[in-house]
Structure 1
Amino acid sequence: MEVTLLGTGDTTGTPTLDCECDTCEYAREHGIERTRFSVYLENDRTDEALLIDASPDFRHQFEREDVALPDSIVITHVHFDHLDGLGNVYRLLRDAPVYAANETDPVTGESVAETVNRKYSYLDAIDVQPTAPFETVRTCGFDVTLVPVDHPPLLCYGVVIEDPETGAKLTLSGDTNYAIPEDSRAAMANPDLLLADGIVPAQVAESHHIGGDHHDDEGVARTFGSKHMTREGAIALGDDLNAERTRLVHVAHYYPVDEAFEEPLAVDGERFSL
């Protein structure tokens, strides 16, 4: 399993447009990017590629990393920075099965699969595959499982990808706070690599209008607001899941510049062989 981090940023990306903070300026000066979230997996045995989330930066990411177009796509939730890159498949792909959850979201009145189908019904290439949480599907030679996480107010899913031939396991937390359900944690456990939502450092939580949540024994916030984990929460999740390696994604530009590009924070273009 070859994993390429196409996009490791949050909704605005880093550098953020019209931002002159030290972190964004450093990223510009050093050619560092965190575009909107997307992860690419290659299966050398089947010569196929799986895309997790379709970033609005789809075209730039694929051109920059010089990777082949995906054979299959998974969408974790309906926020634009994870979904709206699907429009890029127009005239590029003939057939793209898109796996998305089939649970009806009480906020939107439709499932993620139904939202994808409605928004992109004009694209003949997109073949939506409604998928039940915890129901493993085989695509691109990988076993793929959607697991519910906690990203209020919308339903959102983490993803577990396993290679049935080698046993390699990749877990993506999805956009989530620290309160991931126990049954999902059980499915996510013991990955070779965990890609965890770590949007900001915990000290920034006090700047959020509702503060932080899910504090540890020392009062450190593991959740920023209600939707995303802090760096400390993401690292704690990696420990909870017994991850062999944890990289933080969905990273905002609010990290101090001397911390913003240090491990375990990921940047675009990182590659892993599992």
Structure 2
Amino acid sequence: MIVTLLGTGDSPGTPVLNCHCRTCEDARKRGWERKRFSVMVQNSGKTVLIDTSPDLRRQLLDNGVEKVDAVIWTHCHFDHFGGFGEFYRVQNNVRVYSTPQIHEDIGRFMRFLTYKTIEVEPYTPFTIGGMDFTIFTVNHPPVSAVGVKIEWQGYKVVVSGDTNVHIPEESMKEMQNPDLLVVEALAPTGRFKKHMNAREALSLAKRVNAEKVVLTHLGHFYPPHHVAAKNYPVGEDYQSFSFGEGRLDEFFGD
């Protein structure tokens, strides 16, 4: 099983249009970026996307992906579903898993595109490509939102989804003891109604006893990536984690 961070940025990505802060200018100068959020999970020839970033076309091209077998939507904010339109005239009847409420929220924007809606409830496992997925409720006001747990051959990966620190206790139980926690952390510090900062995200990682943690959904509030990486376990676009044969390996795409 391979888990790839297709996009590690927040809603505007980095660099931000018309922003000339230190981080955005460094991104332009050094040629790095943080695309909008999406996670790719691959196993047994199957490809599953957790959220469909507005940057999805470039993400799939860069990673040589020609077919997606399933999508899981975590909530109805544009930076998490907007790229689904890239399937238009490319793939038909893509299978999309989410709660009835999230399907209803996003469905209003997707009437031009035919896809297969699969409604699942939180805490009820379902299987794709030999992997067991479970969505769990998180707190991302004012919309309905979920995180995702992936289990395969004794390994466990948890993707927090967009959330603040007020995660329901039942969800905290689902999140316990992951081999990898992909957790959102909008900024190094600061208080946010809908999101966590890095300190809160790392505290959550300790609470769930994560073996390895990587921060994602990162804003330009962090210093330039090469600086931020010295102080935080910040994710990087196309960073991948391979599970198998009793080990977890980490590598980076081109």
TM-score normalised by L of structure 2: 0.91
Map 1:103-142 onto structure 2 (within 5 A).
111-124=101-114, 126-142=115-131
Cα distance in structure 1, aligned partners of 2:218 and 2:138: 18
Give 1:29 shift: 2.1
Q: Deviations over 1:247-274 (max 9, x none)?
A: 0000000113364344401110101112
Q: State whether residues 261 and 267 of structure 1, in contact with CA within 8 Å, keep that contact through their aligned partners in structure 2.
A: no
Where does residue 268 of structure 1 map in the other structure?
A: 237
Cα separation, partners in 2 of 1:259 and 1:226, compared to 1, 3 Å: farther
Q: How many equivalent residue pairs?
A: 241
Alpha-carbon displacement from aligned partner over 1:62-83 (angstroms, at most 9, x marks no partner): 1122234310000000000001
List per-residue Cα deviations over 1:74-114 (Å, max 9, x = no partner).
00000000011111111111331100112xxxxxxxx1112
User: Letter of the aligned partner of 1:181 in structure 2?
Assistant: P
Q: Write the deviation string for residues 110-150 of structure 1: whole angstroms up to 9, x where unpaired.
A: x11123333223322x1011111111111122111110011
Stretch of structure 1 that moved more, 50-59 or 28-37: 28-37
- Residue identity matched to 1:245: K
Counterpart CA distance in 2 for 1:89 and 1:237 is 35
Query: Once the 2 structures are TM-superposed, how far is the Cα of residue 30 of structure 1 from its aligned partner?
Result: 2.1
Q: How far apart, CA to CA, are the structure 1 residues paired with 2:16 and 2:159?
A: 24
User: What is aligned with 2:214?
Assistant: 247
Matched residues in 2 for 1:29 and 1:63: separation? 24
AA matched with 2:32: I
In structure 2, the residue matched to 1:171 is 158
**Does 1:156 find its partner at 2:145?**
yes
Number of the residue aligned with 1:188: 175
Counterpart-to-counterpart distance in 2, 1:167 and 1:200:
32
Unaligned runs of 5+ in 1: 103-110, 206-211, 213-224
TM normalised by structure 1 equals 0.84
Q: 1:16 to 1:253 in 2, by over 3 A?
A: same
Cα distance in 2, alignment partners of residues 28 and 69 from structure 1:
31
Q: Which residue of 1 aligns with 2:252?
A: none
Matched, 1:12 2:12: yes
| The one of 195, 203, 207 aligned to 1:228 | 195
Aligned to 1:64: 62
Secondary structure of the 1:229 match is: coil
Counterpart position of 1:108: none
Long gaps (5+) in structure 2: 244-254
Q: Contact 1:39–1:53 (CA<8 Å) still a contact in 2?
A: yes
Amino acid at match of 2:233: P
Output the CA distance in 2 between the equivalents of 1:113 and 1:20.
37
Single out whichever of 249-258 and 226-235 deviates more from structure 2. Answer: 249-258
Q: What is the CA RMSD across the aligned residues, in angstroms?
A: 1.4
Residues in 2 aligned to 1:6 and 1:74: alpha-carbon distance in whole angstroms: 14
Corresponding position of 2:249: none
